[in-house]
Amino acid sequence: MAGERVIDPDCETVTFSVSNARPVESKALFALVDVEMKVAGVAFEILGVQARRGPGGTSIELPAIRDTGGTWRPAIRLPSELRKPLADAIVAYLLETGLARPRFADAVR
């Protein structure tokens, strides 16, 4: 798996490995990726993490499910200490694969 990033919170080392980037042609959604997350040596996968375009740049959204009332809810919740490092690892992977461009890349000549 490519795009590996490691963070070291107070208790355990958490490792993200991003892989399987799939381009999506949509107004805001432009890619889906899968993430393997290891916490204290135990690995689990988060499939279908969304990369979206917005007025502020790229945003990363965790998978969501529709509840019985029709409202979209997160399929997984992560502590705030993990959300930014996860988003950073995904954006770095998308830059490596060419699915995303650095901000202001067109302005630099």
CB 31 within 8 A of CB 49: no
pLDDT tens figures, 8-60 = 556 778 899 999 999 999 999 999 999 999 988 899 999 999 999 888 888 99
Q: What is the pLDDT of residue 17?
A: 95
Q: For 37, phi and psi rounded to 5 degrees?
A: -120, 125
The pTM (predicted TM-score) of the whole model is 0.80
Cβ neighbours for 22, distance < 8 A, ≥ 6 positions apart: 31, 32, 33
Look at residue 4 and tell me whether its pLDDT is greater than 60: no
Q: What is the pLDDT of residue 101?
A: 82
